[in-house]
Amino acid sequence: MPALVMYRNGAIYSAADPFATAMLIDGGSVAWVGQEAAADALIDERMEIVDLDGALVAPAFVDSHAHLTETGVALASLDLSGCTSVDGFLAAVSERAATRPGPVIGAGWDESTWPEARTPTVEELDTAAPGREVYLTRVDVHSGLVSSALAAAAGIHGLDGWDGGPVAVREAHTRVREHILSFDAGSRADHQRRALQHLASHGYAAVAEMAAPHIGTRADVSALNDLLDAEGEDLPAVRIYWAETVDTAQQARSLFDDFDSPRMAGLGGDLNIDGSLGSRTASLREPYADAPSTSGCLYLDAETIATHVQACTEAGIQAAFHVIGDAGMDEAVAGFRLAADRLGIAAIQRGRHRIEHAEMLDETAIDTWLELGVTVSMQPLFDALWGGPHGQYEQRLGGERSARMNEVGRLLTRGVPVCLGSDSPVTEMSPWATVKACLEHHTESSRISARAAFVAHTRAGYRGFGDPDPLAGQLVPGSEATFAIWAASELAVQTPDARVSSWSTDARAGTPMLPVLEDSLPTCLGTVRRGRSIFRRA
């Protein structure tokens, strides 16, 4: 591609000119943003001209929390997200077993949406795929269905989290994954490439990879780094988190440096304080409404959290923790407060640490994250999938507790930094669906405007993993030429505020407009990273 490329005859989402229709790219940077008359005056024989034909050019999205190998596996595996009953689920497994050799691997099932509201029995699973190793991850990936053949092959009998099946959690689930997902380097790279190409085709140009020992070995990170070293210019940028606790600054620095990668962003991410609501392993103050015998699982206590935060802070490394339940959040708050007592609030603020998911927050937690400068990485599609009347949250927690979940608007209103992601393969990598979920949150007070959600899913993503470029995630002169091109039927300024019109196309507002998301989602026509095309729709 020539160094100078003029994109014109479209809509450019830019703070430099809210009415821009054209943009000039010089190599990997934005050289100019403006309107058609000025573009006519600038064009010369050195430039390639790209006619946008009315399409929208906007900063590319950042997925702030994803699992690339797992996403690649899910994309190539049996998709169980569309199953609506136990019988339909078993039929899909049976058909897969009858048509493909080897282990039956699938993902995405959610029994909370089925009329039976139960998982299949181990006998039903073994009947659907006789003698086969079967591993089917629940949508939250914190548990999985395991056939008798796989349980025997993985040696999980007697392990914590296995009572004869078919659901495996905790230690048993980790052992099953180690057995069934033991890919060679080439296969890992294939899965990772597939996931990254999928990201690019949906308008993403960057992603935070949340690697962890219970998800994949260090070989997973090595394979990813090798892939990016060889093909990285043609793929989205990746920042890597590794979820392993440390006790001292020296240990933190040694572990971080041992990966020998400029893509490393921090120690944590899916460093689990607790589990998930769907698998009833999120740690709750009160028992689950639909399983009164359990309040979930707490994997890290306040002292362990504090020690990790202190070690990472002293080593100048970002720490991050997965936490979902309210009791888990209490432990996170206590741990960070202990670290702040030891090092001082200013030191913790400089650490730019993160909390992932944060589905259940009270005022104490919000005050803590605001005071300590902690970024909260959230997944709005959790609410779209499981919030509202009769949804999974209400089933698990009851009406009162489920009414205040995933409150992105509450955090942003208070000034807490928020970035957005998919947790793929838990939810789909669909950026406009994520923005729409923020507009239509089941809790009205948690809704935010399309623009606020867009910023949280673009610029804030770069800030979330510590990108030093102040212009990252913007299209203004001097910024990186990283953007996506969208076919959208209509653009508007959209707000969830019931006191005003829900959307406006009044250009006099001087606010860059985004696609209307009421009836359909925009289609990605192309994604460009640093001036280089990483996806182009045929």
* Residues 237-276 pLDDT 10s: 999 999 999 999 999 999 999 999 999 999 999 999 999 9
Task: Mark out the alpha helices in 208-351 (DSSP H runs).
Answer: 218-231, 249-258, 302-315, 326-343, 345-351
Q: How many CB atoms lie within 10 A of CB 192?
A: 26
* Pairing state between β 318-323 and 354-357: parallel
How does pLDDT run across 266-319, given as a tens digit for each residue?
Answer: 999 999 999 999 999 999 999 999 999 999 999 999 999 999 999 999 999 999
Q: What is the pLDDT of residue 183?
A: 82
- CB burial of 75-114 (b: ≥16 within 10 Å; e: otherwise) equals bebbebbebeebeebbebbbebbeeeeebbbbbbbbbbbb
> Which residues are 527's β-sheet partners?
484, 535
158: left (phi over 0), alpha (psi -120 to 50) or beta: left
Long-range contact pairs involving 392-398 (C-beta distance under 8 Å, separation at least 24): 392/110, 392/112, 392/113, 392/277, 392/278, 393/277, 395/112, 395/117, 395/289, 395/290, 396/112, 396/277, 396/278, 396/280, 396/288, 396/289, 396/290, 397/277, 397/284, 397/288, 397/289, 398/289
User: What pLDDT is stored for residue 497 in this prediction?
Assistant: 62
Question: For strand 134-138 and strand 104-109, is the pairing parallel, antiparallel, or unpaired?
Answer: parallel
Which tens digits make up the pLDDT trace of 95-123? 999 999 999 999 999 998 899 989 999 99
Specify the 3-state DSSP secondary structure of 4: strand
Instruction: Please name each of the domains of the chain with its CATH number.
Output: 4-59+473-536 (2.30.40.10), 69-180 (3.10.310.70), 185-464 (3.20.20.140)
Please state whether 77 falls in left (phi above 0), alpha (psi between -120 and 50) or beta.
Answer: beta
C-alpha span between 101 and 96 (Å, rounded): 9
Interval 509-537: pLDDT, tens: 567 889 999 889 999 999 999 999 999 99
pLDDT band at 495 (very low <50, low <70, confident <90, very high): confident
141 touches 425 (CB < 8 A): yes
Is the pLDDT reported for residue 156 higher than 80? yes
- Secondary structure letter of residue 424 according to DSSP: B
Task: Look up residue 353 and give its two tokens.
Answer: 């640490």
pTM of this prediction? 0.91
User: How distant, in Å, are the alpha carbons of 488, 489, 515 from that of 519?
Assistant: 11, 10, 11
Report the relative pairing of strands 354-357 and 167-168 from DSSP bridges.
unpaired
Distances in Å between the Cα of 533 and the Cα atoms of 5, 447, 516, 526, 529 are 12, 34, 26, 7, 6
